[in-house]
Amino acid sequence: MPHFISNKQRVFGLAVLGLLALLAALFFLSFLIGSYPLDAKTVWDILTASLRDLEPYWESAAWKVVETTEDLTEKIAYFYSHFFKRELTEDQIVAIIGL
């Protein structure tokens, strides 16, 4: 016998889905309000650049707005060691980030 979802469960599920959509929208809108405004497409591109093999088109300061310096430092160090088989010094990573 198939299990049917009650009306109460359906309303709850839609409310949760709506709240998650609102949270995602507020996340992307928050970057427009800050001292360094970024549009949602740029934020999305920065967050997914390593997954999509995307060439950065944004300013180096945009990385600092979206990524923490520690996360970015780790990602850059991994990228160079994995793809170029080269270990970078902290000074080289700082020069890449533009701190």
84-99 pLDDT, tens digit each: 888 988 888 888 777 5
Query: Mean pLDDT in the chain?
Result: 81
CA distance 58 to 61: 8
CA distance 22 to 70: 28
Average pLDDT of the segment spanning 26-37: 73
Q: Which residue has the higher pLDDT, 26 or 63?
A: 26
Q: pLDDT at position 99, please?
A: 54
Q: Classify residue 58 as exposed, middle or buried by CB count within 10 Å of its CB (0-12, 13-18, 19+).
A: middle
Within its chain, how far is the Cα of 27 from the centroid? 10
Given pLDDT bands bounded at 50, 70 and 90, which one contains residue 19? very high
Within its chain, how far is the Cα of 63 from the centroid? 10
Share of the chain above pLDDT 90, in %: 12
Within its chain, how far is the Cα of 9 from the centroid? 32
Phi, psi of 35 (to 5 degrees): -70, -15
Q: pLDDT at position 68, please?
A: 67
